[in-house]
């Protein structure tokens, strides 16, 4: 059980970026997290993986009040949460296999077991031939699949993914979503932040919708009201046709005729 | 432990390269300071051992007519000493031996008529209760020109010298250790700052503080062992050449650099102790920095 009660968050002395957040995620539920850029999705995700502490309110993770947990108890709690970051956050100096193996190594799993499990999962996400490749040598989509494999390898109880299909083509995107769906069916609580309305409607799960720091839980199948989009007026500096470049006075007399002369003619008009 | 895959790319940092050489220099200085302190302590010990339990009576040459000749006064001194309880042995130092003692300073061509004091070497009984001041007074009263030297002033100077040298060596060791600790703290903090995104990622993924600290410990241990090996090698070469130089020095004026097997072992252990200190410093620095994370 994951519960947020009257959560508020502000950075420093700034305004509250999240206000009065209330929701409960039952074990084995699947939610999309939606909202415009700047609505507070990333902040809410950070609160969920205990990368931040709320300014006010109470967060219950796996039936434990996070505020009352001792610092030494937090790593074990965090290891039950898998996170797919929007910018992947892979370790460039490690191979794909070592990146995916990180959560297992942190959990103290024997090396003999790690390679077998990681290789199998990387094969499943289509990277079986790239076990020893380092992230910088792989495409964005391949890196994203490594990040997803890393987030699920330790069978987390809560999976948080920030735009997990943003860099992959539709077929791979669907395959990854089905992976999340399978984990959800096996009991993992899944929260996926996305702007992809197609995915949301296809999978038909409820959504947590953030709007200017406040959250609404929207049942599955409900279409979000989207107002007419009015193109914004361009600022004056960008309006109008692009003016031709003005040459400095020192160059105008020399370069000008050359630029204006047709090919083959004498730029100085001499015969 | 070496060659182990690290989650943090610490081996690629430039700080590692300078830390190896800083540690090498520190180990070099520490070993030389320690070796110097050991040699001086050993030397002072040998000198003290040689002088403790020994007294010397000097019978000055005198030309006054009423004073018996020097040889007769020597006999008087010997008789008095041999009759004193607590004295094991009293033997006159031969003229040839006395001249030999002066040879390093005055050369071998000493004139025969050079007035030299006669010396009587005295060995006291171990644990005996010889009243040295009372004996000195009796000797001075009974034999004109006789003076008892119990080497107290010389021994006090020697002890002071040895203690001062050991103190200087200790201060040097502390300074070197402090500088090495500061260098490790700086390198670790730089590593934490350079790799803060990765450290934060590991933290979020559920790495314990010890897990992150172990990454730095492994890296620092590797650097400390490399630096330690370089410093130890250079220091042993230096000590070897100093040993040879003092051994070949003429006239026996320079003390011989003699170290026991245990002392050589202590010198060899310096890099290991330094590596342990560096690893502990790295661990405490990382744990302190991570304590600020949520």
| B207:A98 CB<8 A | no
pLDDT of residue A1: 81
Of A110-119, B32-41, B125-134, B186-195, where does mean pLDDT reach its minimum?
Answer: B125-134
| A78:B206 CB<8 A | yes
pLDDT tens digits for B243-263? Answer: 777 766 544 545 566 778 888
Average pLDDT of span A65-81? 92
pLDDT(A35) > 50: yes
Highest mean pLDDT of the ranges A104-113, B125-134, B276-285: B276-285
Average pLDDT of span A10-33? 92
pLDDT of residue A269: 42
* HSE-CB of B93 using CA atoms within 13 angstroms: 19
Average pLDDT of span A2-19? 93
pLDDT of residue B148: 85
Give the mutation candidate from B6, B194, B205 for the A interface (greatest A CB count, under 10 A). Answer: B205
pLDDT of residue B131: 81
**Cα(B171)–Cα(B184) distance, integer angstroms:** 20
Contact residues on chain B for A53, CB-CB shorter than 8 A: 294
3-state secondary structure of A92: coil
Of A9-13, A246-250, B224-228, where does mean pLDDT reach its minimum?
Answer: A246-250
Q: What percent of chain B has pLDDT over 70?
A: 93
Average pLDDT of span B122-140? 81
pLDDT of residue A252: 58
Of A79-93, B128-142, B171-185, B197-211, where does mean pLDDT reach its minimum?
Answer: B128-142
Report the first-to-last Cα separation within chain B, whole angstroms: 30
The pLDDT-based confidence of A259 (bands split at 50, 70, 90) is very low
Contact of A198 with chain B, judged by CB distance below 8 Å, is answered with no
Decide if A193 contacts A41 (C-beta within 8 A).
yes
Contact of A54 with chain B, judged by CB distance below 8 Å, is answered with no
Q: Number of residue pairs across A and B with CB atoms under 8 Å?
A: 52
- How high does pLDDT run on average in chain A? 84
Contact of A66 with chain B, judged by CB distance below 8 Å, is answered with no
Average pLDDT of span A196-216? 87
Q: Which residue of B has its CA nearest to A71?
A: B294
| A102:B202 CB<8 A | yes
The pLDDT-based confidence of B159 (bands split at 50, 70, 90) is confident
Closest of A102, A243, A96 to residue B201, by C-alpha: A102
pLDDT of residue A256: 46
Average pLDDT of span B79-99? 84
Closest of A89, A16, A20 to residue A49, by C-alpha: A89
The pLDDT-based confidence of A170 (bands split at 50, 70, 90) is confident
Q: Which residue of B has its CA nearest to A51?
A: B204
Q: Which residues between 131 and 190 in chain A have a beta carbon less than 8 angstroms from any beta carbon of chain B?
A: none
Average pLDDT of span B136-144? 87
- In Å, how far is A129's CA from the nearest CA of chain B? 21
- What is the value of pTM for the model shown? 0.72
Closest of A215, A218, A222 to residue A4, by C-alpha: A215
The pLDDT-based confidence of A196 (bands split at 50, 70, 90) is confident
Which position has the higher pLDDT, B42 or B228? B228
| B294:A50 CB<8 A | yes
Indicate the CATH number for domain A1-80+159-165+191-223.
3.40.50.300
Which position has the higher pLDDT, A249 or A113? A113
The pLDDT-based confidence of A271 (bands split at 50, 70, 90) is very low
Average pLDDT of span B51-64? 81
Contact residues on chain B for A52, CB-CB shorter than 8 A: 294
For chain A, the structural domain boundaries read 1-80+159-165+191-223
**Cα(B72)–Cα(B118) distance, integer angstroms:** 11
Asked if this assembly's ipTM is beyond 0.85, the reply is no
Distances (CA, A) of A240 to A231, A245, A246: 16, 15, 17
Which position has the higher pLDDT, A59 or B17? A59
3-state secondary structure of B274: helix
Of B8-12, B103-107, B199-203, where does mean pLDDT reach its minimum?
Answer: B103-107
Q: What percent of chain B has pLDDT over 90?
A: 35
Q: Which residue of A has its CA nearest to B291?
A: A71
| A106:B12 CB<8 A | no
The pLDDT-based confidence of A236 (bands split at 50, 70, 90) is confident
| A53:B206 CB<8 A | no
pLDDT of residue A74: 92
- Output the DSSP codes for B58-104: EE-----TTSPPHHHHHHHHHHHHHTSTTEEEEEEEPHHHHHHHHHH
Alpha helices in chain A (DSSP H): 41-48, 74-78, 96-106, 111-124, 140-152, 170-185, 197-203, 249-260
pLDDT(A158) > 80: yes
Q: At A190, give phi and psi (nearest 5°).
A: -120, 130
pLDDT(A261) > 80: no
The pLDDT-based confidence of A80 (bands split at 50, 70, 90) is very high
- The beta-carbon neighbor of A78 closest among B5, B7, B204 is B204
Contact of B154 with chain A, judged by CB distance below 8 Å, is answered with no
Q: Which residues of A71-106 are buried (b: 16+ CB within 10 A; e: fewer)?
A: eeebbebbbebbbbbbebbbbebbbbbbbbbbbbbb
pLDDT tens digits for B24-50? Answer: 999 999 999 988 888 887 777 777 666
pLDDT(A133) > 50: yes
Q: Which residue of B has its CA nearest to A54?
A: B294
Contact of B207 with chain A, judged by CB distance below 8 Å, is answered with yes
């Amino acid at each position: 059980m994951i519960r947020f009660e009257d959560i508020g968050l502000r950075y420093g002395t700034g305004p509250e970026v999240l206000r009065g957040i209330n929701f409960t995620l039952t074990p084995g539920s699947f939610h999309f997290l939606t909202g415009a850029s700047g609505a507070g999705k990333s902040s809410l995700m950070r609160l969920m993986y205990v990368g931040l502490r709320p300014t006010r309110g109470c967060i219950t993770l796996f039936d434990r009040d996070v505020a009352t947990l001792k610092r030494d108890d937090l790593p074990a709690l965090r290891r039950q949460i898998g996170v797919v970051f929007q910018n992947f956050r892979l370790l460039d100096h490690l191979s794909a296999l070592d990146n995916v193996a990180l959560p297992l190594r942190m959990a103290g799993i024997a090396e003999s077991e790690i390679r077998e499990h990681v290789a199998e999962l990387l094969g499943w996400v289509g990277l079986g031939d790239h076990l020893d490749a380092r992230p910088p040598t792989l495409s964005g989509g391949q890196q994203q699949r490594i990040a997803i494999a890393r987030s699920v390898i330790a069978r987390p109880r809560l999976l948080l993914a920030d735009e997990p299909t943003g860099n992959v083509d539709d077929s791979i995107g669907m395959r990854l979503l089905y992976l999340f769906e399978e984990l959800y069916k096996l009991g993992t609580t899944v929260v996926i932040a996305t702007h992809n309305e197609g995915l949301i409607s296809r999978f038909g799960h409820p959504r947590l919708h953030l709007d200017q720091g406040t959250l609404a839980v929207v049942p599955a199948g409900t279409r979000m009201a989207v107002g007419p989009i009015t193109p914004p007026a361009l600022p004056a500096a960008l309006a109008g046709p692009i003016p031709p470049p003005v040459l400095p006075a020192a160059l105008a007399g020399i370069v000008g005729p050359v630029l204006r002369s047709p090919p083959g003619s004498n730029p100085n008009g001499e015969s | 432990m070496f060659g182990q895959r690290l989650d943090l790319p610490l081996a690629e940092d430039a700080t590692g390269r300078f830390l190896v050489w800083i540690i090498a220099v520190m180990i070099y200085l520490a070993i030389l300071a320690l070796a110097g302190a050991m040699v001086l302590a050993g030397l002072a010990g040998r000198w003290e051992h040689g002088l403790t339990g020994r007294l010397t009576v000097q019978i000055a040459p005198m030309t006054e007519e009423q004073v018996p000749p020097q040889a007769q006064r020597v006999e008087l001194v010997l008789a008095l000493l041999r009759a004193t309880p607590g004295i094991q042995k009293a033997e006159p130092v031969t003229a040839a031996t006395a001249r030999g003692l002066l040879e390093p300073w005055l050369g071998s061509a000493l004139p025969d008529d050079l007035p030299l004091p006669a010396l009587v070497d005295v060995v006291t009984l171990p644990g005996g209760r010889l009243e040295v001041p009372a004996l000195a007074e009796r000797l001075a009263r009974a034999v004109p020109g006789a003076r008892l030297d119990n080497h107290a002033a010389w021994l006090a100077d020697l002890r002071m010298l040895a203690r001062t040298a050991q103190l200087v060596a200790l201060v040097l060791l502390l300074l070197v250790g402090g500088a090495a600790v500061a260098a490790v703290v700086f390198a670790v903090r730089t590593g934490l700052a350079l790799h803060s995104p990765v450290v934060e990622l590991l933290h979020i993924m559920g790495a314990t503080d010890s897990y992150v600290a172990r990454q730095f410990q492994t890296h620092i241990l590797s650097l400390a062992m490399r630096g330690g090996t370089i410093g130890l090698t250079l220091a042993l070469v230096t000590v070897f050449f100093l040993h040879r130089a003092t051994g070949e020095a003429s006239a026996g004026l320079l003390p011989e650099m003699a170290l026991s097997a245990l002392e050589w072992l202590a010198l060899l252990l310096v890099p290991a102790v330094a590596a342990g200190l560096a690893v502990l410093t790295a661990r405490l620095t990382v744990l302190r920095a991570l304590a600020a994370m949520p």
